[in-house]
Amino acid sequence: METSLYLPVKSFLETLGFEVKGEVCGCDLVALRSDTPPFVVIGELKLSFNLELVLQGVDRATACDEVWLAVRASTRGRDRDPRTRKLCRLLGFGLLSVLRSGRVEILVEPRPWRPRRDPKRRSRLVEEHRRRRGDPVHGCGARRPIMTAYRQQALSCAAALQDGPRRPRDLKPAIPDAPKILLGNVYGWFVRVERGLYALTDEGRAALTRWPPA
């Protein structure tokens, strides 16, 4: 029961100088520190980290100075998932893990947080977006090959080889990455018949059947 988490979390907040009371105006716990005006903490308790816990925290956030979420400690639960901690930091929530012994472990401290930018990842997103022709993939296409800009160019190479072997330099004006794609042969669609001359494989013809040229 969530109530088993209450006393350990109450004791933890009391060591920080708060006066804690349970079930106040729909909140699992409310803690006050004798500042002027009083510093207000709202705590929400769940046996495991889930969406309902997060939504409760979001709902309470405008009524307090800090939100603390507390869950029963686990070895493989979402409280151990780095993405869970990142979410709490993004929202500015604290996250506590309550061990069966009653000890409370701080997983995330509540504080304003702004994610550190990843310029390399950002540039990859922008480049891939710009290089794709049209919008070939609907979002959330799990377990299906993604029609990336690279795959689009590889298919263009395959289409250009349907009528016989070609040289990379002949394809490059229309397909800038053709030399790299034919040499790398990531999908097994091409075969080098002699130096500087490539032909289409059966796998390449099957790919053109699956993704016919526009």
In the chain, what percentage of residues exceed pLDDT 90?
A: 62
Identify whether 157 is part of a domain.
Answer: yes
- The whole-number average pLDDT for the span 172-183 is 94
The most confident of 31-35, 144-148, 197-201, by mean pLDDT: 197-201
- Indicate the pLDDT class of residue 140, thresholds 50, 70 and 90: low
Domain CATH number, residue 19: 3.40.1350.10
Q: Is the pTM of this model over 0.85?
A: no
Are the C-beta atoms of 71 and 96 separated by less than 8 Å?
Answer: yes
- Domain end call among 108, 139, 164: 108
Q: Are residues 148 and 205 in the same domain?
A: yes
Instruction: Determine, yes or no, domain membership for 144.
Output: yes
Q: Are residues 160 and 88 in the same domain?
A: no
Say how many domains are in the chain. Answer: 2
pLDDT of residue 214: 65
Write the pLDDT tens digit of every residue in 64-100: 989 999 999 987 788 888 999 999 999 999 999 999 8
Q: For residue 196, what are the domain limits?
A: 131-209
